[in-house]
Amino acid sequence: MFLATSAVSLALAAAAVSVPLDLVSGPSPEPSRASPQATLAPDGTVQISILTYNVRGLPWPLALGRGQALKAIGRQLAALREAGQQPDVVLIQEGFRDEIRELVEMSGYRFWAQGPSRSDKPPGAGPGHHGRYPKVRYPLAGEGWGKFTGSGLHVLSDLPILEVRSEAFRACAGFDCLANKGVMLARLALPDGAGEVDIVNSHLNAKGASKTPQSRNLRAHHLQTEQLIAFIRREHPADIPLLVGGDFNVRGAPARYDYHAETRPYVVVSEFCQGPQARCDGQIPDAEPKPWLRSQDLQAFSVGGPVEVRPLKVATVFDAARGERALSDHAGYLVRYQLHLAPAGRAQAAAPPTVRVKPTFGPWGFEVSWRP
């Protein structure tokens, strides 16, 4: 039963420590096929599939017809579910519009988490924080106007979301500054008590679309990369496997991709699969030099620790280049991973939160319902 307002306030005060109110929605309506694809095999392995997808959910007048397109993407994901081929997790970027809620409901994913909101402040922000990187240099390109939208980051999952953490970027360049871009981490419960996995979703500064000189948007991208790496190192414990995805805006830009490459706490899938011993289904080794620079969208995974992680298969979906119906200016990038769990990694996962917090927005702000 729903509890009284005073009890809700107390519960929210407790829940906000680990599950911030503006980051989490509870289970969506029951899907047609509720079970996740991921299962624990007898040999102690779990396979999990991750789709990263920039859905171009831009508001009018920046783009036209995007509300209907987001609903159609929801139907595409629902069709995969109906066929039993849905990814276990979907990482969305540029989900700025209200219709993202309808996309989630149509897709049937049971759990939904959101990244930094429009009002979230980056850590350490303040006068002089950027040092030699002034916060506003190109006001005609949108700098200094304030944040018109949140980060546009979303994680949809059939696996229970146990915890969500996020952070807005301190630096930005040009029109990218109108969105509160950043990074989010969702901790998921693996099936059959197999442990937990951390999923990171991010969207870094654009190049030409920012309408700023290369020196400006490159510096912003570098600072965001530093913050992304620092966030992962701080929020992700080494004994939990890590999977990373998002729109890194590195296509044709080695100066962006290579920056701090030696300090990354992850290995990029397309670079790993290019190795002669990788044998990732769907990517042909040596097909072309540096295939990771062919796309804005990347996925990555952690190495070391008690859980061995390996990508098994890569694919693009909703790809116009393959004659498929494209509803965005990005194709979806799908990777299937295998997690080989050491005995210590097969400990019982923490139970999903018994309190589901679900914010909804009404004429007087947001309303909150929760169930024990």
CB 365 within 8 A of CB 22: no
List domains and CATH numbers for the chain. Answer: 1-19+357-372 (no CATH), 31-352 (3.60.10.10)
Query: HEC states along 28-62?
Result: CCCCCCCCCCCCECCCCEEEEEEEEEEEEECCCCC
Q: What is the pLDDT of residue 313?
A: 93
Q: How far apart, in Å, are the Cα atoms of 123 and each of 153, 168, 170, 172, 191?
A: 18, 8, 7, 14, 34
Q: What is the pLDDT of residue 5?
A: 28
CB 109 within 8 A of CB 157: yes
CB 234 within 8 A of CB 198: no
The 8-class DSSP code of residue 2 comes to P
Long-range contacts made by residues 278-284, C-beta under 8 angstroms, separation at least 24?
Answer: 278/311, 280/311, 280/312, 280/313, 280/314, 281/312, 281/313, 281/314, 282/313, 282/314, 282/315, 283/314
Q: What is the pLDDT of residue 350?
A: 41
Strand, coil or helix: what is 185?
A: strand
CB 239 within 8 A of CB 308: no
Q: What is the pLDDT of residue 192?
A: 85
- Dig out the tokens for 163 from the structure: 């915890």
pTM confidence score:
0.81
Q: What is the pLDDT of residue 87?
A: 96
Q: How many CB atoms lie within 10 A of CB 118?
A: 15
Per-residue pLDDT of the chain (372 residues; tens, 9 = 90+): 323 322 323 232 233 223 332 334 444 444 444 455 777 787 888 999 999 999 887 776 566 568 788 888 899 999 999 999 999 999 999 998 888 899 999 999 999 999 999 999 998 754 444 567 888 999 999 999 999 999 999 999 999 999 999 999 999 999 999 999 999 999 999 988 889 999 999 999 999 899 999 999 999 999 999 999 999 999 999 999 999 999 999 999 999 999 999 999 999 999 998 877 777 888 765 566 788 888 889 999 999 888 999 999 999 888 777 767 778 878 889 999 999 986 544 444 344 443 344 444 444 343 433 333
Phi, then psi, of 92 in degrees rounded to 5: -110, 135
Phi, then psi, of 268 in degrees rounded to 5: -75, 130
